[in-house]
Structure 1
């Protein structure tokens, strides 16, 4: 920047004084203007510059006095002209300080401009901008400034909308979920709803709010305000549906998804909208007939896609299709049909992703191929990819593998898809890796760039913990940035052709299951998961508080709404009908009113009084949840999608479990965990056996005590509770996979 770049319109600094200004030698510049005023008291620009220099030196009162003194002898018209000159001087210096990123000086100068001209909206926005940069902005400051009122009044902004967009993003990141951020955003939408860059600011902000900051309802309210200006924005409606559902406002979420479905004729987008409708119905729970109808429609769309796949699907639409088969195993235990449909959809998506990133794919292929003939490195580079490494079921289970990893044999790389705030377990995971990448913090949100990072890190084996629960992981795996890619833990295998292995065990997926998977099923010797245990807090449930007699038999089922299959609930009610002293505690995220009606209707059909059902609220911590399991005499598992983390927690607490075993992975989780804990009591292979075991465990206290004793003893001997041994088996699998690859 030249010394004269801010000298304009005769409002010039003396060259020597300006040199001192640039050198931040304010004392000499102040003495110069004091002498100049003594010599030429009628030259008003000297007062403006002197006051500014005093302001830069932190003497605000003296600066204001100097400016007032300079105007004291003026007539009204003169004062108006002098005020405009002063503002110009201050604006010019504020702009210079902004180029230097001196936010504190720029904020101070603009505060004085605001006092002189409180209606300058662009100046107000820059004050907010600097306060955000200084991390000092509060809701009280924003309200006192009056910027929202000026925006609502239609006050003009000098320049284009870039400033307003920048401030909007900053306010949402800084003040959300304070209601004033919503009010500010609404005022901005009035001015920006047709601006092409608005979505580039709004969508990342609401996604961070909904997921990283765990404020999905506030994010939904923001999008509702935007939709007042564009009722048919299908992109916004998709996010709105997800946020509402995640916030427990299921009706609004389903309605938004249905609106999206009705507004689009594009088949991939139709499928995504249909998936959102299905997601809302299943997450709410209890909408069983509506969900069955939605599933039928959804499968018809998927089959149409497979029958005549579009030639060129947009990359964003392709990514969304990865999760489109998610709910199939929740409806039926049909390994052949479910896997066939899923594998075909995954192959279609994978091919499209690779076609759209041919250069990247070729680069990764070259690196992967070149590693085949290499000797085993001193230590394998293992990358873990997930959005669940924190307070999440996957996070509670995978931590033992990280804790016991042999750091001499393996270098560990963590790729965190989501940033998690106020999550101690997330912070622990961050500390466990030799190298960490966090989406939106240490890198771009672009999946291709993350794939590039994985390839650049020369990862030997990439472990995906999420399967199709996260579409972004599926896109990354389709690009195949690592020579060996493995799915483990988060769900059933994805069916993506570029995934080499799926970690299982002899119980959860026997030999005959391989026919249904494109991945090679890698069976660990005993169990595909093991933990050293769980933190257990202080229970908050008591029988007397729930008005349950001391001699009652308490059954419990704690699962989310989408695991509540009507046929299984009917079996549970048959158990309750046969155990007169039985009570049923029902827990899990769902639409409370709908879920109650769902259970009560089936109970009454089976002759069970509704006062024997008790619906429990969620508790603040996982440790308290586990402690509260102790109130149960028997836990009844779900089918065709069993519990996983909930099953492990039940067994750890020493509580008998009744589970129904099927063919698919999701219907065999509890089975493998019980077998690896040395328990066969409660394992049912038919609906009739499920009911029989439920009745026996309810009526036979000696049998319950026997199971509880076995579970207690298993903590000293069972592979299910031996995280160190499990880690050694996983590490041996990694080394064998690498050996196969290099040979």
Structure 2
């Protein structure tokens, strides 16, 4: 007997059975029941909706559409909206059920049909996006293709803000940069308005696109979208200033930083804003007086902070203190004064992080391990193990490490999403590569945990205070011995045990103002086996310079253009007949030209003797083009480092001014370890004298060139293998001191 003899009394039973079949993926059996129901109740359109869905679940998409369209064609116009709503709800419910069962592909197919039926169903469109992410079906044009952006832009658009934010957050974390994504952000943020959740998503996106994927312009446009809703979002303003700075938009960075400062009430926020301002002014390269005033004000703010430490500072604010004093070293060579203040500020920030770690059970306790007969576990922590000046230099140590003595771990911060050949080399070279791509607040805890769990014996920091997340990690002391090497001066963190130096790069009395124990290697704190060089792309005739002229080159970023020192460089040009000065380095082109031309006029040097060069396409080409110079003029109080080593490798004489701080002694130690003393000056007068001598005495220049050529055979600066042995001995001695203490 057919169960449909009396459908009014039996409908509940057969529908229940159909539902059971559907839940158990018995789609054909369930469909048969609905087909029989339609024979009996052909006017009940709900049966067609379910039958079509069951056909769809069996992969019969065309038959499903035909079933739905037939039923819809039989419905009166005034009942159409209700019918479509009913079918939509059935499809939506089943799509949710399939998603819950992790059947994303089936859910995606159902939702595509629902989109055709109700293109204005925003929640469905949002689900299509999340399913596309799960299934790796997300394309640059998907958001536009499915009509999501158009629907969100409607004045009366109704949408769940919670779910919209979830999709917003996922897209910003996973989608590639595209105009479609930007358009979505612009309309979505109008709905989300200003909320902590939305702001945090934007901040994470700015860090991802701007500082990991290096899509700075795209990140800037996202920031600008967010600021349309609330123009005084301080965290976003801070990142926007940094993004403009990284792109070379220094004046725009200063403008944003000034605006942020004007809306910063807390002292700690004023310090961050003023630091951004100072960075932009120095980066521009020619705004000297404004930079001096900003630096003076910055020092005053830091001193006030030390005297009145905030009791309610957030971790994000404390993080910014780690590198708050970094740019002061570009203006004055006063390490005792500067480092004393820096140590106090760093300790304040570090204490806050340790207190926070204590509250969440993240204080690490190290038991002394017996490594007798075992390899030392050494970890290198850095953002710069990639195409970066630090990356070019540090690679030789890792290449020459003795694998029988050292187990090498690499902790890659801000791991590049785009392919980077030098980063790939580091990943292949270390025994254990730990990649960290995000900058979320919890990340520093995760990285510290990884280091601790890896039982690293000695953790080498390559970033110092140039990267805040490094400081966060090191503040927790995840390794029993921590040391700073190469990337910059010592950080001043109380949890750092050693700062690796050499006999020259720090003066004899430096320990009095360093928190860390200065560990002096016997010869040089850095050595390389050489640099890659491509054919040059720059010749004198390209610059309208006579063949018999003397060419001086100064090639540094705008930060290093100290007014007094540039005057010394121009005095050299004035005293060397038929000489030219080539000026090269990242800076604001207009500002740097006005800066040099004004000082040249004051020193009586014709503007015709100055040439402003653009950057080179690559580092190997930059090195080749150094040969256009007869003499390179180093900067002060912040010397070159990688640029100095490249100059020496290219056998070009260099003039440097030696100071007291680490940044003012890099070229000094490199020249000493290359076996060249000609060009080393200990005051401004000597700097000018050496410049004039090297510019006018061809025999002296040739003697220096010959020494540099010979140095490649035996000098410590060019012996990466020997340097690796010295570093390994230092590591073993550090470990012995630790285990015996």
Q: TM-score, normalised by structure 2?
A: 0.94
Correspondent of 1:573 among 570, 573, 578: 570
Question: Does the aligned pair in 1 maintain the 2:194–2:230 contact within 8 Å?
Answer: no
**Does the residue aligned with 2:577 lie in a helix, a strand or coil?**
coil
Question: Does the aligned pair in 2 maintain the 1:642–1:670 contact within 8 Å?
Answer: yes
- The separation in 1 between residues aligned to 2:535 and 2:12, in whole angstroms, is 72
Question: Does the aligned pair in 1 maintain the 2:503–2:520 contact within 8 Å?
Answer: yes
- The separation in 1 between residues aligned to 2:71 and 2:119, in whole angstroms, is 21
Question: Please, what is the CA RMSD of the aligned residues?
Answer: 2.3
Partner of 2:626: 629
Structure 2 runs not aligned, ≥5 long: 1-10
Cα distance change, pair 646–113 in 1 and its aligned pair in 2 (3 A): same
Please report how far the alpha carbon of residue 217 of structure 1 lies from its aligned counterpart in structure 2 after TM superposition. 2.6
Q: How does 1:309-328 map to 2 (within 5 A)?
A: 309-328=309-328
Partner of 1:191: 191
Partner of 1:494: 491
1:642 equivalent in alignment to 2:643: no
Partner of 1:167: 167
Partner of 1:620: 617
Cα distance change, pair 38–490 in 1 and its aligned pair in 2 (3 A): same
Cα distance change, pair 592–535 in 1 and its aligned pair in 2 (3 A): same
Partner of 1:730: 727
- The separation in 2 between residues aligned to 1:71 and 1:331, in whole angstroms, is 77
Moved more, 563-572 or 53-62: 53-62
1:403 equivalent in alignment to 2:360: no
Please report how far the alpha carbon of residue 216 of structure 1 lies from its aligned counterpart in structure 2 after TM superposition. 2.0
Partner of 2:223: 223
Please report how far the alpha carbon of residue 173 of structure 1 lies from its aligned counterpart in structure 2 after TM superposition. 4.2
Please report how far the alpha carbon of residue 669 of structure 1 lies from its aligned counterpart in structure 2 after TM superposition. 0.3
Q: How does 1:124-139 map to 2 (within 5 A)?
A: 124-139=125-140
1:98-148 CA deviation, whole Å, 9 max, x = no partner? 223333322222121111111111112222222233333334332233322
Partner of 1:119: 120
**Does the residue aligned with 1:327 lie in a helix, a strand or coil?**
helix
1:144 equivalent in alignment to 2:141: no
Q: How does 1:54-453 map to 2 (within 5 A)?
A: 54-158=55-159, 160-358=160-358, 363-364=363-364, 367-368=365-366, 370-371=367-368, 374=370, 376=372, 378-420=374-416, 421-440=418-437, 445-453=442-450
Please report how far the alpha carbon of residue 596 of structure 1 lies from its aligned counterpart in structure 2 after TM superposition. 0.9
Cα distance change, pair 439–288 in 1 and its aligned pair in 2 (3 A): same
- The separation in 2 between residues aligned to 1:313 and 1:200, in whole angstroms, is 18
Question: Does the aligned pair in 1 maintain the 2:414–2:439 contact within 8 Å?
Answer: no
**Does the residue aligned with 2:617 lie in a helix, a strand or coil?**
coil
Please report how far the alpha carbon of residue 354 of structure 1 lies from its aligned counterpart in structure 2 after TM superposition. 2.2
- The separation in 1 between residues aligned to 2:371 and 2:536, in whole angstroms, is 54
Please report how far the alpha carbon of residue 450 of structure 1 lies from its aligned counterpart in structure 2 after TM superposition. 2.4
**Does the residue aligned with 1:154 lie in a helix, a strand or coil?**
coil
Q: How does 1:508-657 map to 2 (within 5 A)?
A: 508-657=505-654
Structure 1 runs not aligned, ≥5 long: 1-9
Please report how far the alpha carbon of residue 326 of structure 1 lies from its aligned counterpart in structure 2 after TM superposition. 0.6
**Does the residue aligned with 2:543 lie in a helix, a strand or coil?**
coil
Please report how far the alpha carbon of residue 485 of structure 1 lies from its aligned counterpart in structure 2 after TM superposition. 0.8
Question: Does the aligned pair in 1 maintain the 2:212–2:437 contact within 8 Å?
Answer: no
Cα distance change, pair 124–438 in 1 and its aligned pair in 2 (3 A): same
Question: Does the aligned pair in 2 maintain the 1:52–1:90 contact within 8 Å?
Answer: yes
**Does the residue aligned with 1:672 lie in a helix, a strand or coil?**
helix
**Does the residue aligned with 2:395 lie in a helix, a strand or coil?**
helix
Partner of 1:678: 675
- The separation in 1 between residues aligned to 2:670 and 2:697, in whole angstroms, is 23
Question: Does the aligned pair in 2 maintain the 1:322–1:471 contact within 8 Å?
Answer: yes
Please report how far the alpha carbon of residue 15 of structure 1 lies from its aligned counterpart in structure 2 after TM superposition. 4.5
**Does the residue aligned with 2:503 lie in a helix, a strand or coil?**
coil
**Does the residue aligned with 1:197 lie in a helix, a strand or coil?**
helix
1:427-473 CA deviation, whole Å, 9 max, x = no partner? 22222333333334699743233223322222111111111111222
How many residue pairs are counted as aligned between the two chains? Answer: 729
Cα distance change, pair 83–153 in 1 and its aligned pair in 2 (3 A): closer
